[in-house]
Amino acid sequence: MLSYESSLQALADPTRRTIFELVRSRPRSVAELAANVTVSRPAVSQHLGVLERARLVRHRKRGTRHVYHPDPAGLAPLREYVESLWDDVLTAFAAAGDEDGGNGDARDEE
Amino acid sequence: MLSYESSLQALADPTRRTIFELVRSRPRSVAELAANVTVSRPAVSQHLGVLERARLVRHRKRGTRHVYHPDPAGLAPLREYVESLWDDVLTAFAAAGDEDGGNGDARDEE
DNA sequence: ATGATTCGTAAGACAGCACTAACGGTTAGC
DNA sequence: GCTAACCGTTAGTGCTGTCTTACGAATCAT
């Protein structure tokens, strides 16, 4: 699996995105994260596993607590991918025009 | 639903991402898209519906054919979101340091 | 050493999503 | 007007992912 795929799929889930937003603003423990979302603590732990596999977060053991903090390693490929899409789509869009529903002249071009 | 959420969720699916890649490279009809993926034509039509609701593609009726082309409207919010994540994560990462497994000094800070 | 706290993991139930098959609508061509 | 081609939609099915409960491991405090 390409690197930006896992990041894309990880951030697609709303709960997981909320957790990542919390970790992004400030490093937090699992219990602190679970207190700020509607799901249980094991669910948060599973989401953190997905985020960590996607290289979006890392964790550091602080005694019995696992403190999670963001990691740019997984976000960088996603950022590059979106940027490449952005450039190509702008070019393709400018070449095609911006009208959509109108079916004025029907020329066959294939 | 915020705009970048739908784009994120739409691009998370591999088949949908393949379809979007094809549309990005060149405007294509539904049958042409279906010929380049492993799923059936109705499945492609459904995926195009999701992509269109996310403002990632548009379509133009060319006789009986529906030609789909990319749309920057849905991609722009996603790009801005990823960029904002990138900036904040870089800052947070620099402030936290880059070590992970090491549990050297355990101070209680809460 | 013992008890308490924090966390990860396994197992099972449940919901959501993607897919196929069948149908109906619209347009081009004869 | 009639046939064929292209497409969207709906109903039904299978599967992947998420959630909760229960359990075990690791660490700090007493």
| Alpha-carbon distance B93 to nearest alpha carbon in chain A (angstroms) | 6
pLDDT less than 50: residues of chain B = 98-110
The answer to whether position A47 is within a domain reads yes
Predicted pLDDT of residue B107: 34
Structural domain including B36 reads 3-73
Closest CA to A89 of B66, B97, B79: B79
Domains identified in chain B, total number: 1
Is the Cβ pair A12, B14 closer than 8 Å?
no
For chain A, percent of residues with pLDDT exceeding 70:
81
Residues on chain B bordering chain A, Cβ-to-Cβ distance under 8 angstroms: 5, 8-9, 11-12, 14, 17, 24-27, 58-63, 69-72, 75-76, 78-79, 82-83, 85-86, 88-90, 92-93, 96, 99-103, 106, 108
The answer to whether B36 CB is within 7 Å of strand C is no
- Residue A47's pLDDT is 98
- Whether B96 maps to a domain, the answer reads no
Residue-wise pLDDT tens digits, B30-54:
999 999 999 999 999 999 999 999 9
Q: What is the pLDDT of residue B91?
A: 76
Query: Is residue B81, in this structure, part of any structural domain at all?
Result: no
The encoded tokens of residue A50 equal 């997905």
Residue B84 in domain: no
The pair of three-digit structure tokens given for residue B51, joined into one six-digit string = 């992509």
Put simply, the answer to whether A79 touches B86 (Cβ < 8 Å) is: yes
Tens digit of each residue's pLDDT (9 = 90 or more) over A58-69: 999 999 999 999
Residue A106 has pLDDT above 80, yes or no: no
* Domain-embedded: residue A103: no
Look up the CATH number of the domain holding residue B36.
Answer: 1.10.10.10
Residues facing A90 on adjacent strands? none
Structure-model confidence comparison of residues B16 and A99, the more confident one: B16
- Which uninterrupted H or E stretch holds A37? none
Per-residue tokens: A40: 């249980």
Q: Is the pLDDT of residue A88 over 60?
A: yes
pLDDT value at position A2?
67
**A64 CA from C11 C1′ (Å):** 25
- Contacts for B81 with CB less than 8 Å, ≥ 6 apart: B4, B8
Give the CA-to-C1' distance from A47 to D30 in angstroms.
35
**Each residue of A16-56: pLDDT tens digit?**
999 999 999 999 999 999 999 999 999 999 999 999 999 99
Determine, yes or no, domain membership for A45.
Answer: yes
Please list the alpha-helical segments (H only) found in B26-71.
30-34, 41-53
Distance from chain centroid for Cα B60? 22
- Residue B93: inside a domain: no
CB of A43 under 7 A from strand D? Answer: yes
Per-residue pLDDT tens over the stretch A19-30: 999 999 999 999
Query: Which of B22, B24, B1, B18 lies closest to B75, judged by CA?
Result: B24
* Closest-CA residue to B103 (of A66, A92, A13): A66
Does any domain span residue B60? yes
pLDDT of residue B96: 59
Residue of chain A whose alpha carbon sits nearest to that of B6: A12
